[in-house]
Amino acid sequence: QKEVEQDPGPLSVPEGAIVSLNCTYSNSAFQYFMWYRQYSRKGPELLMYTYSSGNKEDGRFTAQVDKSSKYISLFIRDSQPSDSATYLCAMSNNQGGKLIFGQGTELSVKP
Amino acid sequence: DAGVIQSPRHEVTEMGQEVTLRCKPISGHDYLFWYRQTMMRGLELLIYFNNNVPIDDSGMPEDRFSAKMPNASFSTLKIQPSEPRDSAVYFCASSFQRDIQYFGAGTRLSVL
């Protein structure tokens, strides 16, 4: 079993839809939770990060962490075609600098 | 800030040749990471440095791979000799807060 599980998709939604992206994990020691966006043939771009549990909002993006369920989510409101990319979750236990990445979910927002 | 700068962006080489990938981290960042991304295995950490010192190289696949960081603004990842299975996208990332990492655009390596 992988430490971090993420549905690879692809996920296709119409413009304006609310998108929910999710990851589950098995290591209860994880403390930092990140979401990266990766456009085709580009490097991962840090979108949001959260320390420990709770919610964090940034514009149209909301990150949620539920440590009791070992489950993290990224919500995108009013999705736009420019949001079409692969979204990677990543997490760490703040010991050793090693980020564990999910496989990434490919999102397509159709106009 | 220009972000993490990697060169070259694309590299095509023949099996057996030496390949050197280069990275300039964000100024002020004291952590530098090298990753490899493939369809099959996703993003894998190869090695990381703190203050120019290698801290964890457990992800380096074999002795053909080596990495150096001679100063705070430059790092190299070398593959010698290269093999077709080394074909992947190699990313460099840097951080001032170890777990919050910023990635470069990557080097797409093809070994024929």
Separation between Cα atoms, residue B2 and residue A107, nearest integer Å: 28
Q: Which residue from B56, B98, B103 is facing A44, i.e. has the nearest CB?
A: B103
Residue to test with chain A: of B1, B97, B99, B110, most A Cβ within 10 A: B99
Separation between Cα atoms, residue A4 and residue A2, nearest integer Å: 5
Residue B68 neighbours by CB under 8 Å, 6+ apart: B75, B76, B78
Number of cross-chain residue pairs from A and B with Cβ atoms under 8 Å apart? 51
Q: Do A43 and B106 count as a contact with CB atoms less than 8 A apart?
A: yes
Residue A96 pLDDT: 62
E-assigned strands of A18-110?
A: 19-25, 32-38, 45-51, 54-58, 61-66, 71-76, 85-92, 100-101, 105-110
pLDDT digits (tens, 9 = 90+) for B63-108: 999 999 999 999 999 999 999 999 999 999 999 876 788 999 999 9
Q: Identify the band that residue B1 occupies on the pLDDT scale cut at 50, 70 and 90.
A: low
Separation between Cα atoms, residue B76 and residue B67, nearest integer Å: 6
pLDDT digits (tens, 9 = 90+) for A54-89: 899 999 999 999 999 999 999 999 999 999 999 999
Contact B45/A at CB under 8 A: yes
Tokens read off for A47: 């979108």
Q: Which residue from A45, A96, A104 is facing B42, i.e. has the nearest CB?
A: A104
How large is the average pLDDT for residues A10-24? 96
Does residue A97 carry a pLDDT above 80? no
pLDDT digits (tens, 9 = 90+) for B50-59: 999 999 999 9
